[in-house]
Structure 1
């Protein structure tokens, strides 16, 4: 069998047509009320790596294709999924050609054309643009219009898995006419476009209040005249995860609450009210601790947390990084904060099963003796205060995360565990709206990483990890030059890693791709670029009055919001 056919038969399993008939005519079900305790700061996912921005924007702007609740690729703006068999993917694997659905319109009534896709590619790859999703366009050499409704994406080398650019909620198509003056360094300045993108999705932005609330109304030009069932929608931000859960499960004030990172026993008590339930999907989410390889002293100014600052005086030592991981009891953290919605992990890449490595399981069980020995052997000696030091450098770290009761409890547990090996921690929590907001002017974003270590969750769209693993390449590190955007938040830079990512991009057979992905995962874990903690499920609260919700761990949880309706 031709190598392209081997790959595409394996990687595009059960490609299906999207769409489920709505249960009501457009706008007859009133208002849909969604609550995100992490408030949305922009409606442009290309300017934020935050999940909240990606999910919010997915109600308005769409990709050519996305992943359904089973992880299968389904067409959105595209008429079908291109394959070698149907002629959409070239035999040499160096191009993929997409055909738009007929008569697609933007919400302002103008036609969607191939030129919009071309512009989107140029927008995300423009110099100094700071595109947060640049990994999706890795290896793309050109995007061109065969005609007004046909888009050809060419690759610099054969691309066995060509479903990257314009696929998934993190890589939607934006309107060229609206964003034409927003290329490069001008991208963050286009407030009107970034806050209210013209889209093709079931809703349009009516009003946007950053870090507060987004108000939507049904898109009058949506391609299905019967959808959405709701005339209006809101995504209210702020508060905390517990209050968001309560607003759905106890008071019934809201219909849907995303990201219920709440203690299991608290959620169980809330569900006893009978007004809603928790829906969980397991995908690729991992709660992890980033370990900063660069110096972060405030006196360094703009060089802080960049290569120009020089190596971190303590965390550049591999023995210190590994000791920090070995000292953590992941079982206790999971029991306290996640229960059945999580499980301890040493992998950055925790799913699907074919990609799961068992080569880094050394971190699964706490080993204080081994951690202490590592530090002893590396010359880190405990002082009179119990804190280890070496050459005048103390193992005392600023440990930051977003404000959340589970995360603060995890911080407290980790602080105690690290104290047992002579490591001190100063704990800091930052409002999630700010921490994940991506504002280049803020010193408190996870992209700037003005701390020694920081904790959060990340994941990726779909079931193929190539574009996700590309996010740790050297050229994806956030810096002042990129407006502090870029997927490589942890600042990992390893030429061997970069070379292996490129090898993955050239590899066709699924089993061989899985082996390379495992090696990439193992590099990150064994180098302790990050400390994986918990493979998290995605629990969200859903009102008993809402139907049509299909929990999706492979794309935006709001991926099929056009099909949601109120129970009659």
Structure 2
């Protein structure tokens, strides 16, 4: 049948095979003592449904798990599920309108109670509850119902054929949470459940012993974990804060820590640190893109509670794509890679640079800096410096932007260069950097989060788990704007909205065949790029480091970097 054949094509890049990963170091659970991990962006919660930040998702992945995960090769493997449902094994309906998962037998929550299909049902209800502001809502797009057929069987029904049905409850961003613990946390009550959000009960290899927001987390081995002899480590010290350079030194030079994440520092400095011989730098390319977001709403503080909302009105000039195009043309992406990323970065003109079948070539002109062309473009559109102060005006408003990002040496270097290039085309930039723990924290009371976006331009990196971009591209639906009504949760940071784009989201959700899906995805990418509400800069590899004494690490940029921490062990002990 046509749809069945198409499903196979849509998942051709995904190998459904049981994971075979012997660590070569068998023994008792907890035999290797403590492993020390440093994420210089400190987690502010352990509930990934309340934050879109990578640091929250990855720290929570030590505790919370999903039905399937994506390994270091981007392959979908069963995790809490006994196997991966397909049309062939009867797990996916012939008409692609449902998927049925079977849980592994005997999986226990860390409190000793059994994981059941009802927990999966509850997780869907939790994320889709009105007023909850679920940061991962796009993973449940198109889900009409989730039901417990029996204690071990979960049936997910879609409102239309779903050619790639592996989104809801799959990957590190969409784990199953315990119904009993979060029962009173639905909707607007979600952020008030501090004990649950800071100490979720999970099925993963570790349990939370102590959580200090924006500081440190203490984990210990889950005595009810389903795999004998795992994890090898009895405890985990998960330290947050500081900066990328200090994190790198703590592994590569001083050997205080065993694993350091997201080492966004000068590549020559990193190589010098590695030469000390205590650890190794590891890189994995996936879909991460360092990008600029151009606010389409007015962030002026004069608007009070209406700033950066639809009710506050459009941005005074960044809704004009000509200005965004000129800002993009002025940037030398190759130089940004050279000074800040080295082998860990590649210039890109797309927000979706991978997998290769989805990568558009329609925007490649941005790979060449063109300041003269940018000036000519602005001149041709009447956006000129009428008073001779060096700053152009648009309809009487000077082109001055507040450009914010997280505190990080590479990002501040990028800001300084971009500011200079923009000044050469008559755009003035005021620079601001915010502590990463605050910027990515998701606190609805803070004015400094990337979701609130109380600035004109902001810069950060984002990506998606797995290999199919359907849920990721749905991030820019009109309904995904962060707002006070959603407690400032949402994925459409720049407040882009185009009904034609929303129509492509719907079309992609019902289109089968990887090539046909790829064409739609390219259209979506190109629509975003040519709106100039996003300016992509760097296709980033995930650059981390681990001690030479740490075995079993298989860094992945398709899921949590810590996706296989249950298999980590100490070499020679």
Using the size of structure 2 for normalisation, the TM-score is 0.98
Aligned-pair distance for 1:391?
3.3
Offset of residue 8 of structure 1: 2.5
Q: Give the superposition deviation at 1:381.
A: 1.7
The equivalent of 2:7 in structure 1 is 7
**Deviation by residue 1:503-545 (Cα, 9 ceiling, x = unmatched):** 1111111111111111111011111110000000101011100
- CA offset at residue 183 of structure 1? 0.3
User: Is the 2:283–2:542 Cα contact (8 Å) retained in structure 1?
Assistant: yes
Contact 2:3 2:95 in 1 (8 A): no
Q: What is the Cα deviation at residue 19 of structure 1?
A: 5.1
- Tell whether the 8 Å contact from 1:5 to 1:85 is kept in structure 2 after alignment: no
Is the Cα–Cα contact under 8 Å of residues 321 and 530 in structure 2 kept in the other structure?
A: no
Counterpart secondary structure, 1:117: helix
In the alignment, which residue of structure 1 is the partner of 2:117?
114
User: Structure 1 residue aligned with 2:42, among 26, 39, 42?
Assistant: 39
How big is the shift at 1:10? Answer: 4.4
SS of residue in 1 equivalent to 2:538: strand
Contact 1:27–1:231 (CA<8 Å) still a contact in 2? Answer: yes
TM-score (norm 1): 0.99
Q: Is the 8 A contact 1:69 1:551 kept in 2?
A: yes
Count residues in correspondence. 568
After TM superposition, list the pairs within 5 Å mapping 1:49-448 onto structure 2: 49-382=52-385, 383-448=387-452
- Structure 2, unmatched stretches of 5+, are none
Q: Are 1:281 and 1:551, in contact at CA under 8 Å, matched by a contact in 2?
A: yes
- Tell whether 2:9 aligns with 1:16: no
- In structure 1, how many angstroms separate the alpha carbons of the residues matched to 2:106 and 2:370? 61
In the alignment, the residues of structure 1 paired with residue 58 and residue 264 of structure 2 have an alpha-carbon distance, to the nearest angstrom, of 17
CA distance in 2, matches of 1:437, 1:92: 41
The answer as to whether partners of 1:546 and 1:566 remain within 8 angstroms in 2 is yes
**Deviation per CA, 1:333-381, whole angstroms, max 9, x where unpaired?**
1111011111110000010111110001121111112211221122222
Aligned to 2:512: 508
Deviations 1:258-289 (A, max 9, x none): 00101100001100100001100000000000
Deviation at 1:9, TM superposition (A): 4.8
The separation in 2 between residues aligned to 1:164 and 1:6, in whole angstroms, is 17
RMSD: 0.9
- How far apart, in 2, do the equivalents of 1:378 and 1:133 lie? 40
Does the 8 Å CA contact 1:107/1:198 hold for their aligned counterparts? yes
Runs of 4+ in 1 over 3 A off after TM superposition: none
Deviations, residues 413-471 of structure 1 (Å, cap 9, x unaligned): 00000000000010000000000000000000000000000000000001100000001
Q: How far apart are 1:314 and its partner, in Å?
A: 1.1
- 8 A contact 1:8–1:161 mirrored in 2: no
Deviation at 1:17, TM superposition (A): 0.9
The Cα shift of 1:392 comes to 2.6
**Alpha-carbon distance in structure 2 between the residues aligned to 1:493 and 1:2:** 33
- The secondary structure found in structure 2 opposite 1:146 is strand
Gaps of 5+ in 1: none
